[in-house]
Structure formats: structure tokens, C-alpha cells
Structure 1
Amino acid sequence: MLEDMSKAHLFPVNASTIETARKITKSIYNHLSVLNLMRREYTNGRELIQPAITRFATNFISLQCLFKYRKELRQMFTSTAWVESNASSTPAGIEITEIILNNTFWKDVEHILKVSEALVVVLRLADSEEKPAMGYVYEAMDRANEVIQKRFKNKDYELYWKIIDCRWENQLHSALHAATYYLNPSFVFSPTFSKHSEVMRDSRFGFGSTAAIRNREKMSPDKWWDRFGNGIHELKKLAIRIFSQCISASGCVRNWSIFKHIHSPKRNRLVHQRLNDLVLVHYNLKLRERDMLKRTGNAASDPISLENINILVG
């Protein structure tokens, strides 16, 4: 979706804006003195480039960072330190200064962020390894579409919706997404969910207990079903199985990097099973380290937070 939104033949202004933003970051990071000036005086050590899951996500996250520090960048490129630097008088320096001070450029960046920010949140959710995200992706995409619509005063969002729907229907949407949305207790029992008689009937019995209601949004869906789904064993078994599904290939990509690390020229005679066993050990050690961080309270905040999408509405 993000790739489509940066294609020149579909969104020429978006493509041009992204390329211009890359010029800015490239110019800053290619000059150590300019980079040090930015880090020391204007961004408190924060970076404008943050590697992401995909190249296209990186482009949009960099746009977020640029827009966040737009005032600081304007101050920097009009400061005495910049004007007196050797880089400011070069053709590239002059061009970047004009771009930074150009209001049209920042309006174009803001336009792109109206669409991309919600999708980047969904991408981060799907890439989470903290707990299964399968039960949340359907609702997350719905909320992302709502955010995109609310952020546009006219019907400009419709073209973006077409891009999203095309990728969603042809590549991403599956019966599992719909099923986990339907079976997720934090959604199915909410006032905004479409009421179905069989769901409400279950809610009056075991699912309607005080403990079940209290934990609908606190527990992950698979654990909730494991604890409160004893009255309907077959549905419980199905729910736990589908909520535990992986929705992103990022974990596999990380495993391939472990393969590459282990299968070096010095150890290229490892038999296949031995290689698999070593990768399993490495990955389990990472899981153990993450579990220890949770126990000590040093783990990152819950990545499955759809409220982050709602916050984007401006």
C-alpha cells in the first residue's frame, strides 16, 4: 500500500515529495559537521532516518521525523552556524535551504502523512512479536480507513481507499482476519459491534461472568479463550488456533538473518538438522531475554494498541 502511494504514475506529487525529502536527509547525513550541528543544537540527538520493516515504510517514517522537526530545521538552516559553514554555499546546500524554507513542500509532506501515519501504525502492529496480532488486524485496517477519511475535508481520500482496498482484498484479507475479529472479546462484545443473537446468548452465560468481562481487553484473545471458553470446547480450540497465527513474514526474515550468521564459510559443513537446531536455540534465547525483560518491568509498552491509530486524527 505504501509502495503504491509513492508511485509517480499514481501520485506524482507524493513521489516528488518523497524524493525531495530524501535529498534533505542525504545532504545532512553526508556532511558530518551539519549532522553534528543538527543533533547537538536542534533535535537533542534524535535522528531523521529510522530503518523500518520495508524500504517504503522507512521513507514514510523519515517524512514523519522531518515534519516533526520542521521548525527546528528551519531555524537550523537560517542560523549563523549554517550560513557560515562551507556546506551552505554549495549548490546542494543552497537547494536544501530553499526546500526547507518552502511552505509548499511542508504542505505536501503533511498531505502524505494524513494517509501514511495510520498505515505505518498497522504495519508496526502486524510486525509485533510481543503477542499475536491476528485478532487485531481487521479492526486496525478499519480504523486506519476511518482516520484517513476524517483527515481529509474533501473526497481526496477515495483514491487512497481504492489503493488500500485493492491490496487488502487481493493480497491481505482472508477468512482468518474476519474470524479473529468476530471472536475477539474486546470487539465482539463492544457496543459498536454488530449484534448477533448467538453471540449475545453466549455473553449471558460463561462469557458474561465478571472475570470474563473484566479481562476482555486486558488479556490477549487466545489466553482469554483458553480461560473462559470451557463451555464450548470446539469453538475454544478453533479460537486459540487462529488467534495464534502469524500475520507477518518479519519473524521469518529475522530467522533467515540468524541462518546467515550461523552458516558462515567456517561452518558451511553443518548438516541441515543441526543448522535448524542452532537457529531454534538462538531464537529461543531471544524469547527468554524478552520474557525476562517483561518480568523486570523493562519491556516495551504493549504494541497491540489500536488507540494509537485513533490518536492520529487531527
Structure 2
Amino acid sequence: MQLTQQYRCFEGEQRIYTLDSQVLKTKTKLGVFLPPQALLGQPCPALFYLAGLTCTEETFSIKAHAQRLAAQLGLIMITPDTSPRGEQVAEGDSWDIGQGAGFYINATQTPWAEHYQMESFIADELYDWVNQNLPIQTQKIGIMGHSMGGHGALTLAFKYPEKFKSVSAFAPICAPSQCPWGEKAFSQYLGTEQSDWKKHDATALIQAKGAVFKEILIDQGLQDQFYAQLNPALFKQVCAQVGQSLTLREHVGYDHGYYFIQSFIDEHLQFHIVQLEH
């Protein structure tokens, strides 16, 4: 891991690292915000943020305006890239498949399986690296995300509840096996067997596993141009069936973008701090 950029930010530091990933078999970039407490060596809670389609490790740090409150709360923020990248990495023929669109799963199909192992990268390789190299309170790590990254946050949280103690999302793809984005990605990355898709579908995972978290927080804009892809109502219905407590807040006038995220990011950080402290 090489520290390639660092910027003073609210008395903390916004950093960019380059990691030679053994899992992805290529170099990948990682954003880390260290609050001032962490710079002094104080162990802090941490929050993974998984970004959406076409985004990078810098999208959240530049657009979400989260560092001010994260500095006050003493919260480390970890923002990986959305896929493996590089000349040797397979690329799709459209913006919603391939580089920039890893879907936070482990691909099993050619040509994707060689590099597109984002689930193992996040939950194992990166998770271990941040715990070994950053002043993190290892029992206080949460995960959140947006759109494709919201799908990633929800699914990884339910697959690895021993690692992620809190979860929230902005406009997540709640049931990817039942929408065009997910059908396209899963058929290419995982093949045509739909029983394999359900292993990476938040709605199906919760239906299978039942209640795992004390609370889940989701914010959704009602003017979201991609609303038909997201299926929050299906997710809410299944949470109610299995007794998983869910706060789904739907906001008139808000779309899918980062002005929406800026508007409610403080409440998500505060939500995670409360969940991680209990």
C-alpha cells in the first residue's frame, strides 16, 4: 500500500492510497478520511462507504461533504473504488457493466472472474488491511452505500454481520435479481442460474436470514430517475415479514444524485455512531 495523496481537511486528513491487491490481481485505489482523533493515534470507529455505478474512490470524499461531521464524531471513513481497473482488466460495452460497475460480488464467469472479486476484496483483503494499518476500533465498523453501493452495503452487511455492526444506504438497488441493472450484471458476472443471483440480492438475503440488525436506515428520493430499478417497497415488505426493523424515509423532490446525499449524510453518520456504540 502506497500513500499517494493527502490533504488537510477539518483538522483531519483526506488520503488516497494505492494498493497492489492480491484478490483483484491489479492495483486499486482507496480513499481514507482520518479524523483528528485518529491522527493523534486514538482508536476510532470506522465506516465503509460503497459508491455507485461509474464512481471512484474519490466520489464520496469530494461530493458528499461528510468530513466535517466525521471529524467531530471521530469517525474514520473508508471509500474503495467501485471495481478493479487497468488495461488487463475486462471492460464492458456500456457504462453499467465492467470497470466502474463491479457490483461488490465475486464474479464466476469469463472474462470477469479473473479480476472482479469485489466481495472478497472488501470483506477480506481491505477489511484486514484497514484493521492492521489504521487506528480502528475493530468491533465498531459499519457499512453504507449509494445505489449499486447501497446494494453492496446491504448484502455484505447481511453476509458478514460479524464484521459490520451497522448498515445504511441511499437509494440502494434493493432487489437486483428483479431489475434490469441487476439482471444485466448478474447474468454476465454470475451466469444464468438465478438461484445464484439470490445469494447477492438484499431482499432475498433478508428473507432467508431473518432479522440481523437492530435497525437499518434507508433514504430514498421520490423524484429519483432510477426509482423503478430500486424496489424499496419490496425490501420494506420483506423486512416487515421477518421482523427486521427498517427506517425507510422517502423524500419528495429529491433525485438519485449527490445533492440528495449531501442533504441527509449527517443523519447517516449519526445513525452509525449510535448503532456502533451499542
TM-score, with length taken from structure 2: 0.26
Q: Highest Rg: 1 or 2? A: 1
TM-score, with length taken from structure 1: 0.24
The structure that is strand-richer by fraction is: 2
